[in-house]
Structure 1
Amino acid sequence: MAHIALYRTWRPQAFQDVVGQKHIIQTLQNSLREGRISHAYLFNGPRGTGKTTLAKIMAKAVNCLRGPAIEPCNQCAACERITEGSVMDVLEIDAASNRGVEEIRDIRDKVKYAPTEVRHKVYIIDEVHMLTTEAFNALLKTLEEPPEHVMFILATTEPHRLPATIISRCQRFDFRRVPLDEQVERLEEVCRHEEIEAEGEALRYIARLSDGGMRDALSLLDQVIAFSGKKVTYADTLSMTGGIASDQFEALAQAIGRQDVAAALQMIDEFMQEGKSADKCLENLIHFFRDLLLVKMVPGSQAVTERVLDVEQMKRVAAGFANSEMMRFIEVLNHYHIEMKYSAQPQTLFEIAMMKLCRSEAGAQPEEGHAGGAKTDDSVVRDLLGRIGRLEEQLAQLQKQPPSAGPSAPSPSAPFRQASPSSAAATRRSGEKLDGFLSGKDGTAIRAVLGKWSQVLSRVKDQKITVHAWLVDGEPAAIAGDRLLVVFKSAMHRETTERPANKQLIEQVLAEIMGEPYKLSTAMQKDWKAAADQVKEPDTPREELKLVHEEEQKPQEEAYISEAIQWFGEDLVKIKDE
């Protein structure tokens, strides 16, 4: 006869055989004893914790020929046939493969017919969260008011994906992960009946790997038995499951404590030679340091006693590490464990993680920006945010300050303009420069430049768009010999245009478009207008041009625009005229 898997052979057939769900069993048995059976139940919880098993036991209990009873007899025809799955009135439906509205409509149409073989029709819908929205809508009315002879039992691992309208029409039972001690007890019982000699450490290790799922624990035991035969040892279990013995982790932890990189890398190489998985090794190492931390901080907790085989030995290992140090280890390992999911070289990441752990915390801190790693973008972002915050404070101070009365009362937060020697010198010389241009402001030469100025701007834009952005604020005003005067509304645009590289580019374009070389000169539009007005009214005293305080030289808005350019650079600052 073909071998039947242990989890199928040892599937509970009565409430008393179910492991780890006493709170649910007691509630269901009380409802059966008192005849308070609901029309709909929702069983949800982790995989392998007994949801479908309890649903079938419940179907037998309500249909048992000697009941309804708190335990099915498993001897009558109804119990035996339900166990075999041959009763047409007890249907187990896999919602993952029957998730459409048509399948649910078929159920809705058939529930009104009375059962033909047993007392109650029972519909067990497994993985019910896989149903479509339309299927849930079709199920809703039937689930709310089914005929008296119908019971629905819905099972799912993801109850949050169910509509609230469905959940509200069911009695909900939350299945728990099976405690480790109860799993070990059940595994020992199975081994006794199967005549298997098993070490206690091996069974506890299997229970730990199953993560609270009894079905997974039985499957692992079946796999180990196939490997080792009638005698299950801890070493064979480790070899079969790809695990690492706790003493090997202890040796690795001690190498990390000594900051012995060579020894740590040698152990990793041995793990890989034995066919271990790098990500699994790293995951288990995270659990090892977690256990060390718990043993040291909360030695008597259930989390420690369930996971740790030798608590006293773990205490001796934990004594060699500070709590903060072990927390750093876990953070580093967790970081690289996440990175492994996207890496083609997981072993390399495992080795780098070990190198990080072998560095002292004090020596690693200057470079660390993330749990033992190099400085990351997060720290750069924090630096930028700090700089922006300081800039905002300075701007707020500028906005609150009243206009300065003159050069005798400068603001401490706004120093005299010293952006560049050329701009200051240009300000001192502007009176002389403008006098020379006044005679050429209406000549044919300037009209020729004005006629082709759009071509000049277009060519500059093709050469370098940022220079165009500054030059577009200017306007040709006059020509004196080989010098072209361009006047600007904004001091910032003028100063940027005056930079040697930008000025050279503009002069090259002027030579190409106009056919003759021009040297670029600049001035502020208000100064040019004042000089032109002085020619029309010669008796008016000429305005004295001098180096003045920054707040007098330009509007308040331009002060913090220049500040922004100083912080972030001209390529990242855009000025929009309101």
Structure 2
Amino acid sequence: MGYQALYRVWRPQKFVDLVGQKMITQTLQNAIMTKQTSHAYLFTGPRGTGKTSAAKIFAKVINCHNQKDGEPCNECATCQAITEGRLNDVIEIDAASNNSVDEIRDIRDKVKYAPTQADYKVYIIDEVHMLSTGAFNALLKTLEEPPSNVVFILATTEPHKIPATIISRTQRFDFKRITNDDLIARMQYILTEKKFEYEERALRVVAKASAGGMRDALSILDQVLSFGNDVVTLENALLVTGSVKHEQLNQYLKLIFAGDTAAALQTLQEVMAEGKDANRLVEDVIDYCRDLLLYQASPNIVEQNSLLDIDENFKTLAEQTDINSLYKAIDILNEQQQNMRFSTHADIYLEVLTVKLTQLTKKVEINAPTELSSASQEEITELKMQVKELKKVVDNLQKNPEQRVAPVKEKKVPVRKKNSTVIDLKKVYPILADATRNDLIKLKDIWPDLMNMLSVTQRAIMNVSKPVAASAKGVIVSFDYDFLFEKADGNTVLKDSLTQGLERLIGQDYKMVFMPKEKWPEIRKKYLTEHQDVSEKDQQSDSKDKEEVEDPQITAAKQFFGENFNQIVKIKED
């Protein structure tokens, strides 16, 4: 026989080999030893946790004449036949492909026949939640009262899809995710038995990527062995799983919480250039933020985690990162992770995510204490002077209680006003005068293509912008954040790139005007108000002109009839 995957070669053949399911294996062994086995079982839990393996072991034990302490001997003809899948009395059914009423009726018809070789006939129905409603109804009566020598074992990863009437007729066992320590211990045992070299840190990466499933862990380990010529190294494990080194995560988050957008984007670009998976990167960043949060709350919890290397860089970052920033970062990461699941441009989401995260806090130097601005120093100096004066007053009052002291005048500290953004209306109004909905729709349709023509840094700035008004020769672009508007408005290279990109896509030159998102409604309303006033004045002047220019015949008629003109004469327009 050719090469077999590790998860097939090392599939558990005894209950003791089932990793991380001690409660379930102990219960089944006790039931077998005391002859209190049930006629139907339901095994539920995540994939790769041992449900089908436990069902096969159970089928071997109840049919093995040499079983000891609830374990099969795995040497008799019955045990070997079940292991090799050639015993007719142990029937495995995949409900995903055999889910119709006819298949279940066939089982119901054959279940009344006695086993041919073994003591018990065992039906193992995998992915039982895939059965149709009619198939479940056909199974009900048989499942409730099968013959005494028949056992049903149902396995599923989605128990909520199984009717309650089926669940109530079975003994349910919930298989839990296997802990990382158990996964690592099992992989170490297998690699030692096969005499393969390995790095323990590589096994940690594999265990983390498997998400609690032994089958997934062994499949990934198989890939790492194939990639590294039967040697398991950390580098190979990171490449196969798409995970990111802890050092890279630490550096990335260090720049994030320092507010260094440019350096954080550069680090992100380097990580993605190594071929890392975007979704795996976000997941790794979330895990790292979670570890930082837990370390601040209780260092012992994180130090006991075998998947994380607690070094000085990690401790320094945990001590100097604000806990509120971690809360906000995790919220943003979770939200962006949901958006990325249905996107074909994950790299763009990562760049926008990086920009958002760097704006959580103002720039804070992680390796050095924060320097106070000159204005803050002046305020502190003023406060110190006031405190000294107040101390003198208190000392005088204590010495001479009857002495009246003039109150100390408070010196007002000048408050610095924020620079208000000024928009040049001379550039905006001409575009609004000729703006049409069709021009705006055309710009919005090609906007994603325009963004893809920009560099990484330019795309990071423009990804929070959108066109809000457009004419045949100009476009107004609004920005969600003021600081990005300021960066874009003063960046001539960026404007040139946008103009050249639009010329390539549409074939004509566009004038671009940037403005913050908050300013756009105000400017639009002001333009509409002024434009409406002008049109009303034009209408009034037109009506006056019409009144002034009157037909000569009407004027002559008014003179002839005098005051009775309106009663006698009616004017009709041709």
TM-score by length of 1: 0.62
Match of 1:122 in 2: 122
Match of 1:201 in 2: 201
Cα distance 1:346–1:305, how it changes in 2: closer, same or farther (>3 A)? same
How do 1:87-486 and structure 2 match up within 5 A?
87-301=87-301, 305-310=305-310, 313-361=313-361
Match of 2:74 in 1: 74
Residues 41 and 153, structure 2, Cα contact 8 Å, conserved in 1 = yes
How well do the aligned residues superpose, as a CA RMSD in angstroms? 2.3
State the alpha-carbon separation in 2 of the partners of residues 332 and 343 from structure 1. 17
Deviation (angstroms), 1:316: 2.4
CA deviation string 1:179-215 (max 9, x = no partner): 1111111000000011111111111111111111011
**Percent same amino acid among aligned pairs?**
50
Deviation (angstroms), 1:290: 1.4
State the alpha-carbon separation in 1 of the partners of residues 355 and 210 from structure 2. 31
State the alpha-carbon separation in 2 of the partners of residues 311 and 37 from structure 1. 51
Deviation (angstroms), 1:374: 5.2
State the alpha-carbon separation in 1 of the partners of residues 352 and 309 from structure 2. 29
Structure with the greater alpha carbon radius of gyration: 1
SS in 1 for 2:36: coil
The one-letter code sitting in structure 2 at the alignment partner of 1:217 is: A
Match of 1:7 in 2: 7
Deviation (angstroms), 1:345: 2.2
Cα distance 1:60–1:515, how it changes in 2: closer, same or farther (>3 A)? farther
Match of 2:561 in 1: none
State the alpha-carbon separation in 2 of the partners of residues 248 and 323 from structure 1. 21
SS in 1 for 2:300: coil
Cα distance 1:92–1:312, how it changes in 2: closer, same or farther (>3 A)? farther
Deviation (angstroms), 1:284: 1.5
Cα distance 1:516–1:68, how it changes in 2: closer, same or farther (>3 A)? farther
Cα distance 1:303–1:169, how it changes in 2: closer, same or farther (>3 A)? farther
Deviation (angstroms), 1:51: 0.1
State the alpha-carbon separation in 1 of the partners of residues 566 and 47 from structure 2. 90
Equivalenced residues, count: 374
State the alpha-carbon separation in 2 of the partners of residues 355 and 228 from structure 1. 37
CA deviation string 1:102-146 (max 9, x = no partner): 000000000101001100000000000000000000000000000
CA deviation string 1:487-523 (max 9, x = no partner): xxxxxxxxxxxxxxxxxxxxxxxxxxx9669xxxxxx
State the alpha-carbon separation in 2 of the partners of residues 258 and 333 from structure 1. 17
SS in 1 for 2:37: coil
State the alpha-carbon separation in 2 of the partners of residues 327 and 77 from structure 1. 60
Cα distance 1:107–1:259, how it changes in 2: closer, same or farther (>3 A)? same
Match of 1:59 in 2: 59
The one-letter code sitting in structure 1 at the alignment partner of 2:354 is: M
State the alpha-carbon separation in 2 of the partners of residues 241 and 171 from structure 1. 37
Residues 129 and 156, structure 2, Cα contact 8 Å, conserved in 1 = yes
Residues 62 and 68, structure 1, Cα contact 8 Å, conserved in 2 = no
Deviation (angstroms), 1:313: 4.8
Residues 81 and 87, structure 2, Cα contact 8 Å, conserved in 1 = yes
SS in 2 for 1:152: strand
SS in 2 for 1:115: coil
The one-letter code sitting in structure 2 at the alignment partner of 1:28 is: L
Residues 44 and 173, structure 2, Cα contact 8 Å, conserved in 1 = yes
SS in 2 for 1:151: strand
CA deviation string 1:330-369 (max 9, x = no partner): 1112222222233332212111111111114479xxxxxx
Cα distance 1:40–1:201, how it changes in 2: closer, same or farther (>3 A)? same
SS in 1 for 2:151: strand
State the alpha-carbon separation in 1 of the partners of residues 155 and 261 from structure 2. 50
SS in 2 for 1:73: coil
State the alpha-carbon separation in 2 of the partners of residues 360 and 226 from structure 1. 43
Deviation (angstroms), 1:302: 7.0
Moved more, 354-363 or 54-63: 354-363
SS in 1 for 2:320: coil
Residues 30 and 70, structure 1, Cα contact 8 Å, conserved in 2 = yes
The one-letter code sitting in structure 2 at the alignment partner of 1:205 is: V
The one-letter code sitting in structure 1 at the alignment partner of 2:293 is: L
Match of 1:402 in 2: none
Deviation (angstroms), 1:69: 5.5
How do 1:460-539 and structure 2 match up within 5 A?
none
State the alpha-carbon separation in 1 of the partners of residues 146 and 311 from structure 2. 55
State the alpha-carbon separation in 1 of the partners of residues 204 and 35 from structure 2. 40
Match of 1:43 in 2: 43
Match of 2:18 in 1: 18
State the alpha-carbon separation in 2 of the partners of residues 200 and 319 from structure 1. 28
Cα distance 1:353–1:151, how it changes in 2: closer, same or farther (>3 A)? same
State the alpha-carbon separation in 1 of the partners of residues 32 and 64 from structure 2. 12
Residues 259 and 361, structure 2, Cα contact 8 Å, conserved in 1 = no
SS in 2 for 1:38: coil
SS in 1 for 2:91: strand
Moved more, 59-68 or 221-230: 59-68
State the alpha-carbon separation in 2 of the partners of residues 305 and 276 from structure 1. 24
Deviation (angstroms), 1:308: 2.1
Residues 96 and 127, structure 2, Cα contact 8 Å, conserved in 1 = yes
State the alpha-carbon separation in 2 of the partners of residues 332 and 374 from structure 1. 16
State the alpha-carbon separation in 2 of the partners of residues 481 and 30 from structure 1. 115
Deviation (angstroms), 1:45: 0.3
